[in-house]
Structure 1
């Protein structure tokens, strides 16, 4: 299975970038670092990345609007064929447009136990508040600063006499361990059969009068007391694939889809020309598109009254 392609954005020494990079050297790591980019051409982390054979890119933000600089960074990420972006000490507030372009695919590490202490001076604020623990959090990036769903946290005890510097040094150790683990788990979920089945299940069962059964060892979705409109194939006959099977118009469409993308689409064994299999385990699925495939397949087998209801809902 191909590894997820991760670009790391830094502004300084890049110690968290280094932790991600060295974790990626393990054979079983599900991601690889394909680019280290910075708004600071003098960032020390760029030299480390270069020494490790990682492509780098730098462009100063000085004299540019936030949106103009974000566009330049976005173009560099796209050119590197980036799947996911990891912010690692990237000291820039990102424009909503940039965040939107990487929605669900950009992570950040923050030196506090979010939602506490967003922004700067996190260790000093935790000590002044009398907290028993500081720590770090990895979260998905949203337009709001240091917001977004939290993917993982590590508490770090605050010791008597701690200063912001002494606490920061211990939190940094925790950051280096937490970030690579959370990033690995997050990118791997896109190829996890359990995750993929659950994503299909939520979408299929949201359709009118849908039900789920197991057929030939596969999760199968149909209309109650009616025909089936979707299956999830899980390593069927040892083929090593996780795929969604949906109804299509016939052999011409089946052949066309396979010709367009033979890696993702294939003819499912035992199902005939009226079905197509699309692999889900290649990662980075377009779930909006899969929604449409499921709705179309449902519509193909639904009684007229239910089909009319679906049109109303749409």
Structure 2
């Protein structure tokens, strides 16, 4: 059984996120569990999320889920724009809710790159500046 799509293909936040993700070496996109996932061998970013116990809400549907370094994660969890996503949160992932405040796309690019560095094969990470 396939999952229903949980995003709008023409979402303006996704339109801004997609080139940041796909601009990284050998990054690709696929839909999984109804969400756009960006990956190399492993997923490094997901557009849209939910939190434990609130799977039907669209509150976090315009967000990006990333796997930051420990210090970045700790700082993020003290910022109201971030949340612990269901399924990914126990593995160190956080979500940045694009609706929580004006989006700083330079910050998003940095977070996506950090997540990429934490998940991509070493040979691809070496291709980054």
Same fold judged by TM-score > 0.5?
yes
Residue by residue, what CA displacement relative to the aligned partner does 1:143-170 show, whole Å, maximum 9, x if unpaired? xxxxxxxxxxxxxxxxxxxxxxxxxxxx
TM-score by length of 1: 0.34
1:1-314, aligned counterparts within 5 Å? 194-223=11-40, 226-233=41-48, 237-241=56-60, 242-250=62-70, 253-259=72-78, 261-262=79-80, 264-271=81-88, 272-310=90-128, 314=129
Q: Is the partner of 1:237 in helix, strand or coil? A: coil
Moved over 2 A (4+): 234-237, 252-256
- Partners of 1:207 and 1:267 lie apart in 2 by 25
Whichever structure has more strand as a proportion of its residues is 1
The alignment covers a number of residue pairs equal to 114
Deviation at 1:249, TM superposition (A): 2.8
RMSD of the TM alignment (CA)? 2.0
Higher relative contact order (CA 8 A, sep 6+): 2
- Partners of 2:33 and 2:92 lie apart in 1 by 19
Q: Is the partner of 1:212 in helix, strand or coil? A: strand
Q: Is the partner of 1:277 in helix, strand or coil? A: strand
- Partners of 2:104 and 2:24 lie apart in 1 by 18
- Partners of 1:254 and 1:300 lie apart in 2 by 13
- Partners of 2:101 and 2:15 lie apart in 1 by 15
TM-score by length of 2: 0.79
Larger radius of gyration: 1
- Partners of 1:213 and 1:255 lie apart in 2 by 29
Deviation at 1:218, TM superposition (A): 0.9
Asked if the contact 2:44–2:119 (Cα under 8 Å) also holds between the matched residues in 1, the reply is: yes
Deviation at 1:237, TM superposition (A): 2.8
